Amino acid sequence: MTDMPVNAAGLAGRPSFDARQLLGRYGAIFVLVLMIVTFSIIEPTAFPTKDNAINILNQCALAAIIAMGLTFPLLAGEFDLSIGYNASLCGVVACELMLKQNFSIPLAFLVAIALGATVGLVNGLLITRIRVNALVATLGVGTVVVGINYAISGGLPVSVNNTEQFINLSLGKLFGIPYPVYVMVVVAALLWVLLNRTILGQSMQAVGGNPVAARLSGIRVDRTRTLVFVLAGACAAVTGVLLASRTGSASVDGGDGYMLSAFAAAFFGSAVLRDGQFHIVGTLLGVLTVAVGFNAIAITGINTYYQYLFQGGLLIFAVGVGTLARRQAG
C-alpha cells in the first residue's frame, strides 16, 4: 500500500508482489516438494535413497533434453510437432551409419545432431520464407521424416555392431552417475545461458513477446524464428541417439512418444516461476515432477495406467492453478 518513491536506489530493486502471485509462481514447486515428502513417508526404504534419486534423474534425462529443445519454439510463439519423429529418425540414422558405414560413435552422434538440426532448419525456412503455419509445416515435415525413416530402416529396428560400447553411452557411469544425466545437465546449462545470457536469447524472447515490436526494434525476426527450430531439432537428435543407445538398437518409432511428454513438460514449466512464459528451468522442473510421480507409482506397485492419469492431471492442475492465480492477482 505504501507509495514507492522513485530514486536511483529504488530502481535496482524488485517490484513487490502479493501472495496469489507467489502461489502462481511457486505452486508447482510446492507440489514437487510435497510429492517428495509424501513418498518419502510412504516408502521410507525405497523412495528417499541416493540410488533412487539418481535413477529418477536418469529416467528423465532423455525427456528433459528434447523438452528443453521444444521450449525454444514455444517461447518464440511457435509450435514444433516434428520433434518426436525427428528423434526417431536421428536414432535410426546414427545406428545405420555405425552399422553400414563403420562410423565411430562420436562421429555418428555428431552427424545425427546435424541431421536433427537440418530438419529443424527446413521447418524454420518453411515457416519464415514461405509463411506456412508452424503447426502445418512441422506436421508435414514430421510426416515426411517418418517416410524417410521407413525408407532407410525398412521399418525394422537397426542394431549396431559394437553394441557394448554404444550401450555404454547410456549405462556407463562417472562417479556413480550415468552419462545421460551429465548430458542433460550440460545441455540445460548451455541452453539456459543461451536463452538468458546472450543477445540471441534476448531476441528469441522478444520475438515471442511481440514480433512486430521486435522487428521494429531491429531484431531479425525471421532469422531468430528459424534458429529456434534448429535448436529444437538438434535437441531431438540428442534424445534420439541416447534412446537408441539404451538397447543398442534404434526402432523406427522409438522417439515418437516424446513429443507429447515434451509439450506437457514445457507447458507445465510455463506455469512455474515466470507468469506464463516458457523457460528452461520450468521445463526441467516439469520433466522432473512427472518423473518423480512415475517413479513413486512404480515403487508402490500401483497399476501403470495411473501414470497417465497422473501426468494429465498434473498438467491441467499446474497450468490451471497458475492461470487462476495470475488472473486474480490482476
Partner 1 sequence: MTTSTDSAAVTTAAGARSAAAPSSPPLLEVRELAKHYGGIQALRGPSLTVDAGSVHALVGANGAGKSTLVKILAGVEHADSGTVLVDGEQVDIRTPQESTRLGLNFIHQELNLVPKFSVAQNMALGYEGGSRRGMLDRRAARARAREVLAQLGADVDLDVEVARLSVNDRWMVSLGRSLMRDARLIAMDEPTASFTEDEAERLFGVVEGLTASGVAIIYISHRLDEVLRLADDVTVLRNGGLVGTYPAGDLDRAQLTHHIVGHEVHAPEAGAGPPRDAQCVLSVSSLAAAPRVRDVSLDVQRGEILGIAGLVGAGRTELARLLFGADKATAGTMELDGKPYHPKSPYDAIRQGVALIPEERRSQGLLLLESVAFNVSLATEDRNRWRPGLPFTSPKKGRARAADMVQRFGIKTPSVRQRVSELSGGNQQKVVVSKYVATGPRLLILDEPTVGVDVGAREELYAIIRALAETGTAVIVISSDFEELAMCHRVAVMQEGRITDMVDGPQATKERLTALCYATGEAR
Q: Which residues bind partner 1 (CB under 8 A)?
A: 1-4, 6, 8, 10-17, 193, 196-200, 202-203, 205-206, 209-210, 212-220, 275, 277, 330
Q: Measured from the CB atom, is 20 or 246 closer to partner 1? A: 20
Q: Please state the closest distance from residue 231 (CB atom) to partner 1, in A.
A: 15
Which helix (H) or strand (E) element contains residue 326? Answer: helix 305-329
Min dist CB 186 to partner 1, Å, is: 17
Between 255 and 282, CB nearer to partner 1: 282
Nearest by Cα to 246 from 175, 172, 298: 172
50 versus 197: smaller Cβ distance to partner 1 = 197
Q: For the CB of residue 16, give the shortest distance to partner 1 in the complex, in Å.
A: 6
**Closer residue to partner 1, CB minimum distance, 214 or 265:** 214
Nearest to 174 by CA among 189, 164, 185, 163: 185
Report d(CA 72, CA 266) in Å as an integer.
10
CB of 302 to partner 1, least distance (A): 40
The DSSP-derived string for 207-228 is HHH-HHHHHHTT--HHHHHHHH
What is the number of alpha carbons within 13 Å of residue 199 lying toward its C-beta?
Answer: 4
Question: Which CB atom, from 270 or from 311, has the smaller least distance to partner 1?
Answer: 270
Give the DSSP H or E segment for 303.
none
Sign of the alpha-carbon torsion through 310, 238, 115, 150: negative
- Which residue carries 529504488 as its cell? 10
Q: What Rg value do the Cα atoms of the chain yield, rounded?
A: 21
Shortest CB 51 distance to partner 1, Å: 37
278 class by beta-carbon count within 10 Å (0-12 exposed, 13-18 middle, 19+ buried) = buried
CB of 30 to partner 1, least distance (A): 23
Which of 133, 110, 142 minimizes the C-alpha distance to 256?
Answer: 142
**CB closer to partner 1 out of 215 and 246:** 215
Nearer to partner 1, 298 or 324 (CB): 324
3-class SS string, 92-130: HHHHHHHHHCCCCHHHHHHHHHHHHHHHHHHHHHHHHCC
For the bound state, the minimum distance from the C-beta of residue 21 to partner 1, rounded and expressed in Å, comes to 10
- For residue 127, give Cα distances in angstroms to 8, 118, 120, 304: 44, 14, 11, 39
**Residue 228: CB minimum distance to partner 1, A:** 16
Residue closer to partner 1 (CB basis): 102 or 210: 210
Q: In the structure grid, which three cell numbers stand for residue 59, read together?
A: 529416467
Minimum distance of partner 1 from residue 212's CB (angstroms): 5
Place of cell 552417475: 177
Q: Which is nearer to partner 1, 111 or 280 (CB)?
A: 280
